[in-house]
Amino acid sequence: MLNRRYHKLLILSIGLILLAIVLFAIRVMSPTTIDANGYLHEPFYLVGLGYFSGISGLLVLIIRFVLDHFHH
């Protein structure tokens, strides 16, 4: 039963880390433009979401390994 929960945590952490990679890739490939008034238009929110997803994935991965280590 506990092994299944650890497996789900591993899948969740890998998913969050992959989501972060995809968000950063989209950010790099998105065009950045400056309009006539001098305003910069770029999808900067992707950077924050990418860092949030990556750090969350790493935290879940660390928690999974700590729980697995102390359980056995």
What is the Cα 17 distance to its own chain's centre?
Answer: 4
| pTM for the model | 0.84
| Token reading at 53 | 């997803």
Looking at residue 2, what is its pLDDT? Answer: 59
Looking at residue 72, what is its pLDDT? Answer: 61
Please state, in angstroms and rounded to a whole number, the distance separating the CA atoms of residues 54 and 20.
5
Please state, in angstroms and rounded to a whole number, the distance separating the CA atoms of residues 6 and 66.
10
* Closest listed residue to residue 53, CA positions, set 26, 15, 6: 15
pLDDT in tens, 1-28: 557 877 888 999 999 999 999 999 999 9
pLDDT in tens, 33-59: 999 998 988 889 999 999 999 999 999
List the chain domain ranges: 42-72
SS3 37: coil
Q: Is 47:7 a contact under the CB 8 Å cutoff?
A: no
Percent of the chain residues past pLDDT 90, beyond the cut:
58
